[in-house]
Amino acid sequence: MKTRSLLLLITPPFIALAWLLLAGDPSTPARTAPADDSKPPARKPDVVYVPTPQFIVDKMLEMAEVKKGDVVYDLGCGDGRIVVTAAKKYGVKAVGFDINPERVRESIANVRSNKVEHLVTIKEADIFTLDLTEASVVALYLLPSLNVKLMPQLAKLKPGSRIVSHDFDMAGAKPVEVYRTSADPDGWDGSEHRIYKWVVPWEKDPATR
Ligand SMILES: C[S@@+](CC[C@H](N)C(=O)[O-])C[C@H]1O[C@@H](n2cnc3c(N)ncnc32)[C@H](O)[C@@H]1O
């Protein structure tokens, strides 16, 4: 018998219950990585957190033509809204990565409150260290320079994989579609939003190099 189980047996029941509630039940491991509230990011995030409005999230996934069997990655997942929406709306597996432990904690809470733990995994990671080859759809809301920096990793995605980027292009790669809207059903703001879509392997665009 493990020491922890032994201690639970000889500890008064109310203390054992409190301990279990605080420590969590080791027999049901979460699919999501634990995040320490107090822990600062391993390094400064490359871009600050700004959430994508929900109506743009919906449009990004629609443009990506998410279908059964897809695996959706969000690189810099913020509060996890893109991966949660992919799981809820399309029933697909999705993985969100963020370098900021606070965002990871928010994403995990979002995954749990939407009850999609069986489909969504949240990982604390620097997106520039990742192997992306398991993904068939990649969502981005970063910066133009960061999209370009990701190109060597994105180029290794399986042929036919879709990349969708909120607001920012990827110099040197010709999008197959660019969506623009100023409509804002959520009353978020009046500014224009763009969504760029590429399909792997993308066509080179020498004009933007
Ligand atoms: C503009 S927000 C987008 C959030 C979310 N994807 C959305 O569209 O709502 C960018 C996110 O990228 C994260 N981030 C910045 N640099 C990162 C890096 N090198 N690796 C992982 N995440 C990063 C930030 O912490 C932030 O949450």
| Share above pLDDT 70 across residues of the chain, in percent, rounded to a whole number | 79
Same domain for 200 and 160?
yes
Number of domains in the chain: 2
- Same domain? For 105 and 192 the reply is yes
pTM of the model: 0.83
Q: Confirm or reject: Cβ of 100 under 6 Å from ligand 1.
A: yes
Torsion of CA 35, 153, 58, 102, to 10 degrees: 20
- DSSP per residue, 71-124: EEEEES-TTSHHHHHHHHHH--EEEEEES-HHHHHHHHHHHHHTT-TTTEEEEE
Domain of residue 111: give its range. Answer: 54-208
What is residue 139's predicted lDDT score, i.e. its pLDDT? 99
pLDDT at 25: 31
Q: Judge whether 172 and 195 are in contact, CB under 8 Å.
A: no
12-65: per-residue pLDDT in tens? 333 333 322 333 333 333 344 454 556 888 889 999 999 999 999 999 999 999
* Residue 201: cis peptide before it, omega within 30 degrees of 0: yes
For the chain, helix (H) and strand (E) counts, in that order, are 6, 9
Measure the CA–CA gap between 8 and 12, rounded to whole angstroms. 8
Looking at the structure, tell me whether residues 100 and 10 fall in a common domain.
no
Instruction: Check residue 206 and give its pLDDT.
Output: 82
Please report whether residue 7 resides in a domain: yes
For the chain, the C-alpha Rg in angstroms (whole number) is 20
Residue among 43, 58, 95, 100 whose CB has most ligand 1 atoms within 8 A, to mutate: 100
Q: Is the CB of 46 under 6 A from ligand 1?
A: yes
Instruction: List the CATH number of the domain containing 148.
Output: 3.40.50.150
- Ligand 1, residue 51: give the atom nearest the CA: 9
If asked whether residues 94 and 192 sit together in one domain, one would say yes
In a domain, 47, yes or no: no
Ligand 1 mutation target, pool 44, 98, 102, most atoms within 8 A of CB? 98
Query: In the structure, what pLDDT confidence band is assigned to residue 188 with cuts at 50, 70 and 90?
Result: low
64 and 22 co-located in one domain: no
Write down the pLDDT at residue 191. 85
